[in-house]
Amino acid sequence: MTALGTEAMVRMGELQVSRDAGDVLVTIGLGSCIGLALIDRTRPLAGLAHIVLPKSGHDGEAPAAKFADLAVPALLGQLTGLGAIAARLDAVLVGGAQMFSFGSSPTLDIGRRNEEATRAALAEAGIAVRAAATGGSKGRTIRVHVDSGRVLVNEPGSAEVEVYGGAR
């Protein structure tokens, strides 16, 4: 554990959880994808999922966090494995931008559909969304500090801002 913390990269379709107070969970460059952070209000424990698409089809071997409907239970499952309970988790959503607009094709408004599907899956799991930095047309980077539970976001060319201050 260092003063600066260890940055753990969460890539497209992946998820990670940590109870190491020195860890920072990071996804660089969320466009239409959603970075879903789940933070335990009672202890240093947090998880981050990098969701790509709203709904799973018949693909049995997809990466754990690829689809919103599977990513939420998968991330929750890993956190409860470390002692979390859903009622004590706060959710923070980042991303879901529409970077390109190729006419009105619904398949291309992936960002908005990702956010809707993620919120629906969280509601089903009984987890409240406490903060969000979503929509628009710009990419974002998310950093989840496991020790404080703070979630920081930056867009290209702007300073990092705190979207969630942590409840601990």
Partner 1 sequence: MKHTYSDLQLDALRELANIGSGTAATALSSLLGCPVDVSVPNALAVPLADAVEAAGPPETFTTAVVLPIFGDFEAIVLLLFPPDDAARLCELLGVDPATEVGLSALGEIGNILGSAYVGALGTMTGRALEPRPPQTVTDMLGAIVASVLATGAESTDVALVLDSDLIVEGTECSLSFMLVPSRDGVGEVLEGLGLGE
Active site residues: 33
Smallest gap, in angstroms, from Cβ of residue 155 to partner 1?
9
Cα–Cα nearest to 141, from 26, 22, 7, 11: 26
**For residues 17 and 154, what is the distance between their CA atoms, to the nearest angstrom?**
21
Please, what is the minimum distance in Å from the beta carbon of residue 15 to partner 1? Answer: 12
In angstroms, the Cα distances linking 90 to 47, 87, 131 are 11, 8, 9
* Strand-pair partners of 17: 47
Q: Does 118 bind partner 1 (CB under 8 A)?
A: no
What is the smallest separation between the CB atom of 128 and partner 1, expressed in angstroms? 27
The answer to whether the CB of 127 falls within 8 A of the CB of 76 is yes
- Give the span between the Cα atoms of 30 and 2, in whole angstroms: 26
Task: Specify the stretch interacting with partner 1 by CB under 8 A; choose among 16-24, 38-46, 85-93, 106-114.
Answer: 106-114
What is the identity of the amino acid at 31?
G
The four Cα atoms 149, 120, 10, 160 give a dihedral, to 10 degrees, of: -50
Q: Which of 15, 17, 25, 33 binds partner 1 (CB under 8 A)?
A: 33
Nearer of residues 22 and 31 to partner 1, judged by Cβ = 31
Cα(56)–Cα(64) distance, integer angstroms: 11
Which residue, among 49, 34, 40, has the nearest Cα to 21 in the 3D structure? Answer: 40
Show the site string, 65-104: x = touches partner 1 by CB under 8 A, - = not.
-x------------------------------x-xxxxx-
Which residues 45-64 are close enough to bind partner 1 by CB under 8 A?
Answer: 52-53, 57, 59, 61-63
Q: Which range, of 70-78, 115-123, 137-145, 159-167, touches partner 1 by CB under 8 A? A: 137-145
* Candidate residues 1, 7, 11, 128; the one interacting with partner 1 per rule CB under 8 A: 11
Positions in the binding site for partner 1 (CB under 8 A): 11-14, 28-33, 52-53, 57, 59, 61-63, 66, 97, 99-103, 107-108, 110-111, 137-141, 156-157
